[in-house]
C-alpha cells in the first residue's frame, strides 16, 4: 500500500493545495501557449516543487499524469548524484535530439544547487541558446547557492510553507476519506509538527493513524510522539510569569519523569510563546534557545524558568506628537501718506533676544525601598525602562545581565568584559532610579546560582551548569 503523501499527490495543477499564486500563473501560461524555456522552483522541502514540476511537464505535452507511464520525453535528474560537468555535457548532447512523442523534451533537475561550478557553466551554455523543443524545470531548497546567471535566465517561482488553517482543512479531508478517527486537537498537533510541509504532515498523519482503532485524541498523540501537553506548557509559562518557582519546578519534573527531553520542552515553549506572544514571556525566549547547546540542558531549562521574569518593553518608545501652536490674528492698521523724507539718525542695533532656558530634564521616577526580591525585580524593570528613554545603547546589555541586591548594594553581573564596560559608563544613569543610599557594582562575572543548583540537585540528582561555547 502506498504512503498517504504518495496516494494524495496532486495530478493536475488545479489539485495543488496552498500554492495558488503559482498554479494560476502556470495554468494561464499553458492556456495561452506561452511556455518558457527554463523554470526555477525554490522553497522549503515538502511544499510541492517536484510534484508541480512533474505535472507541468505532463500538461505542456498533453500526457496523462494518472497513467504514471515512463515517458521518454520527460527526464528527471537528481543533481545530488549527478553533480559533475560530464553529466551536464551528456545532457546537452541528448537535448538536441527532438522529442519522440510530445511537443517538448522536459528536463526536471531536482536539488539543482548541488551542481558543481563547472556543471553550472556547462548548463548555462544551453540556457543561453536553448533548442526550441527543450524545457528545463529546476527545483532547489537553497536558492542562494544557484548562480545569478542561471536565475536570471529562468522564470522563478517561490513555494511557501502551507498556512496552518489550509493544512488543517487538507488533513481533515484526507482523514475523513481514509476513515481515520482523529480529533481536531490532535490534527492541530500534526499540523504544528509538520511545520507547513505537506509531505511531512501527511507522513506524520500516516504514522499516527495506527495508534488506535478508537478515537485518536491529543493526549494519545502527545504520548506517542513524546511531546508535552499544551496545558502543561501554559501552566509552566503562567507559573514563570507569577514568579511561582515551586509550581514551575514541580510541573517540569512531571514532564521530565515521563521521558520528554528538556530540549523538546524548550522548543515547544518557544512555539507556544510565538503563537501567543505576551510581554512577560518574551524575555524568556533568549534563555530557552540556549537549552539545547548546554551540557546539562535540564539544569539550564530549570534555571531559565525559575529566574525572575522580566517583561520586554518596546525598544523604541514613540514620542507624543507636538501640540500645534495657536496662531494669533493681528489687526492691520491703515497706513498714512508718508511725509517728505528727512535725514534720519543711524539706527542703533537691536538688542539680541535673551535665549529661553532649556527645560530641565525629567527626573527619573522615585524608586520604592527594596525590602524583598519582588521589590528588587520591580526596581530592575524601572532601570531598564529608564535606560530605554535616556541611554538605549545599554538596554540590550542589561537584558543579558543578571543582578543581586543585598545590604543596600546592587551587583550587576554583565557576563562579559565588553558588556561590563558599556554598563559601567552609564552607572550614573542607573543610580537615578535606585533608592537613596544604594551603591552599584558592575563586574564581568556570571551569577552563581548556588541556591537554585541545590534545589536542582535534590530533584535531578546533582549537576553543574556548563556553557559550551560554539
Count helices and strands (H / E) in the chain: 21, 8
Residue percentage of the chain with pLDDT more than 90? 14
Q: How far apart are the first and last CA of the chain?
A: 45
- What whole-number distance in Å separates Cα of residue 109 and Cα of residue 80? 10
> What confidence score (pLDDT) does residue 386 get?
80
Instruction: Report pLDDT for 41.
Output: 95
Instruction: Tell me if 18 sits within 8 A of 166, measured CB to CB.
Output: yes
Rounded CA-CA distance 254/258 in Å is 7
> pLDDT, tens digit, for every residue of 278-298?
888 888 888 888 888 888 888
DSSP-assigned states of every residue in 262-309: HHHHHHHHHHHHHHS--HHHHTTHHHHTTGGGBSSHHHHHHHHHHSPP
Whether pLDDT at 256 is above 60: yes
Please tell me the predicted confidence (pLDDT) of residue 467.
45
CA distance 127 to 119: 12
Does residue 4 surpass a pLDDT of 60?
yes
Residue 456: pLDDT over 70: no
**With 70 as the cut, is the pLDDT of residue 163 above it?**
yes
Amino acid at each position: 500500500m502506498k504512503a498517504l503523501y504518495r496516494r494524495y499527490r496532486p495530478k493536475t495543477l488545479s489539485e495543488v493545495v496552498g500554492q495558488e499564486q503559482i498554479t494560476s500563473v502556470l495554468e494561464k501560461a499553458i492556456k495561452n501557449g506561452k511556455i518558457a524555456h527554463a523554470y526555477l522552483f525554490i522553497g522549503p522541502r515538502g511544499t510541492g516543487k517536484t510534484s508541480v514540476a512533474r505535472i507541468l511537464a505532463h500538461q505542456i505535452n498533453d500526457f496523462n499524469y494518472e497513467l504514471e507511464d515512463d515517458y521518454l520525453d520527460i527526464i528527471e535528474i537528481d543533481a545530488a548524484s549527478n553533480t559533475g560537468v560530464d553529466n551536464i555535457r551528456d545532457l546537452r548532447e541528448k537535448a538536441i535530439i527532438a522529442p519522440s512523442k510530445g511537443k517538448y523534451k522536459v528536463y526536471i533537475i531536482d536539488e539543482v544547487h548541488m551542481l558543481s561550478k563547472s556543471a553550472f557553466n556547462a548548463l548555462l551554455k544551453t540556457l543561453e541558446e536553448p533548442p526550441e523543443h527543450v524545457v528545463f524545470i529546476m527545483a532547489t531548497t537553497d536558492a542562494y547557492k544557484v548562480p545569478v546567471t542561471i536565475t536570471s535566465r529562468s522564470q522563478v517561482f517561490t513555494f511557501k510553507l502551507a498556512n496552518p488553517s489550509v493544512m488543517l482543512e487538507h488533513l481533515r479531508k484526507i482523514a475523513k476519506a481514509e476513515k481515520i478517527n482523529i480529533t481536531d486537537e490532535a490534527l492541530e498537533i500534526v499540523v504544528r509538527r509538520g511545520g507547513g510541509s505537506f509531505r511531512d504532515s501527511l507522513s506524520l498523519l500516516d504514522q499516527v493513524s495506527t495508534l488506535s482503532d478508537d478515537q485518536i485524541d491529543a493526549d494519545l498523540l502527545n504520548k506517542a510522539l513524546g511531546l508535552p501537553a499544551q496545558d502543561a506548557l501554559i501552566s509552566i509559562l503562567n507559573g514563570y510569569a507569577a514568579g511561582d518557582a515551586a509550581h514551575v519546578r514541580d510541573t517540569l519534573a512531571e514532564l521530565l519523569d515521563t521521558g520528554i527531553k528538556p530540549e523538546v520542552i524548550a522548543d515547544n515553549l518557544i512555539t507556544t510563546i510565538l503563537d501567543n506572544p505576551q510581554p512577560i514571556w518574551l524575555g524568556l525566549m533568549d534563555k530557552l534557545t540556549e537549552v539545547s547547546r548546554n551540557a546539562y540542558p535540564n539544569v539550564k531549562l530549570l534555571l531559565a524558568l525559575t529566574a525572575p521574569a522580566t517583561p520586554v518593553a518596546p525598544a523604541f518608545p514613540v514620542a507624543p506628537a507636538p501640540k500645534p501652536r495657536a496662531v494669533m490674528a493681528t489687526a492691520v492698521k491703515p497706513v498714512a501718506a508718508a511725509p517728505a523724507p528727512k535725514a534720519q539718525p543711524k539706527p542703533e542695533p537691536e538688542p539680541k533676544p535673551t535665549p529661553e532656558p532649556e527645560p530641565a530634564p525629567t527626573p527619573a521616577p522615585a524608586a520604592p525601598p527594596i525590602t524583598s526580591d519582588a521589590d528588587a525585580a520591580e526596581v530592575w524593570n524601572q532601570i531598564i525602562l529608564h535606560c530605554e528613554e535616556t541611554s538605549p545603547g545599554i538596554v540590550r546589555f542589561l537584558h543579558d545581565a543578571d543582578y543581586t541586591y543585598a545590604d543596600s548594594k546592587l551587583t550587576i553581573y554583565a557576563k562579559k568584559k565588553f558588556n561590563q564596560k558599556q554598563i559601567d559608563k552609564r552607572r550614573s544613569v542607573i543610580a537615578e532610579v535606585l533608592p537613596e543610599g544604594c551603591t552599584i557594582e558592575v563586574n564581568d562575572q556570571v551569577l552563581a546560582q548556588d541556591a537554585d543548583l541545590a534545589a536542582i540537585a535534590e530533584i535531578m540528582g546533582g549537576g553543574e551548569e556548563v556553557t559550551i561555547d560554539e
